[in-house]
Amino acid sequence: MHELFPEIEPFRTHSLRVSELHTLYIEECGNPKGIPVLFLHGGPGGGLSARHRRFFDPQKFHIILFDQRGSGRSTPYAELQENTTQDLIADIEKIRQMFHYKNWIVFGGSWGSTLALSYAISHPDRVRYMILRGIFLCRPDEIRWFYQHGAHWLFPDAYEDYVSVIPEQERHDLLTAFYQRLTSNDAETVRKSALAWSLWEGSALKLIPDDSTKADFNKIATALARIECHYFVHKCFFPTENWILENAQSIFFTIFLLFWYTVGTMSYVR
């Protein structure tokens, strides 16, 4: 595998108020006169890490990154109100307009690829290219395979820990059971459920176990679990179950898709 570019710090950060409730954290790295590229993190709810800045040549690209609603340093943290796919698409447009770019490159993996495709379908003239990896279309079958029945055959020990916080009589519908607990008014219930959800995801992220990955997921457990479950219970707020593929023809002839599959990973880079 190729090495990532060297570590880099933002040369400017912003707070962008996108609604009465939500304010986004945005950072700029690399060359302010370079080719604009927008990084979309995973989750939803995953937030940014310093590693995300290192996918791009800082001499050539103006690298723009932001924590999506409720994630990372955006506020309010782990907030579910006014947090839908359509809201995030609108936020991306507000960020583009803030930088006065006619169009830009959009980069995303897993949920980031979902959001990139959704944005491109909604605004095809605003996307020069997309760089996508670990593509996730947020279809019910995909969500069911990971969070209910399918992935448990690959990671049985981790799955036992995942479902341990849910009574057996509720395990036929784990999404609903977790959603009830992750939206509870009891902080301890939210904490335990969020840790179980996030540790399962961190454990099943790679075929070879990686304790550092699980530790990273622990740090973002509350936002990741609450926001992911919120989106998945609501079918990612798409009008139909296969919305992306049903509308993909609108971008086939205007956008070049580069699919990048990372060896040894099952889904996304956080």
Parse the chain into domains and list their residue ranges: 12-138+238-259, 140-236
Task: Say what the pLDDT of residue 38 is.
Answer: 98
Asked whether the beta carbons of 55 and 39 are under 8 A apart, the reply is yes
pLDDT at 210 (0 to 100) = 77
Q: Note the helical H segments in the chain.
A: 85-99, 111-122, 140-147, 156-163, 174-182, 187-203, 211-219, 221-233, 243-247, 249-252
DSSP designation for 256: E
**Per-residue pLDDT, 260:** 43
Omega before residue 32 within 30° of 0, cis: no
| Contact assessment for residue 262 and residue 269, using Cβ atoms and an 8 Å cutoff | yes
Instruction: Dihedral sign for Cα 143, 140, 192, 162, please.
Output: negative
pLDDT value of residue 47: 97
CATH among 3.40.190.80, 3.40.50.20, 3.40.50.1820, 3.40.225.10 for 12-138+238-259: 3.40.50.1820
The single-letter code of the amino acid at 207 is L
Looking at residue 67, its pLDDT comes to: 98
12 beta partners: 28
pLDDT given for residue 212 in this prediction: 75
Amino acid at 146: F
Residue 146's pLDDT is: 96
Give the DSSP H/E element, type plus range, for residue 127: strand 127-135
pLDDT of residue 42: 96
Helix and strand numbers (H, E) in the chain are 10, 7
Predicted local distance difference test score (pLDDT) of residue 82? 98
Residues in the chain with pLDDT values less than 70: 1-2, 252-270
Per-residue pLDDT, 266: 34
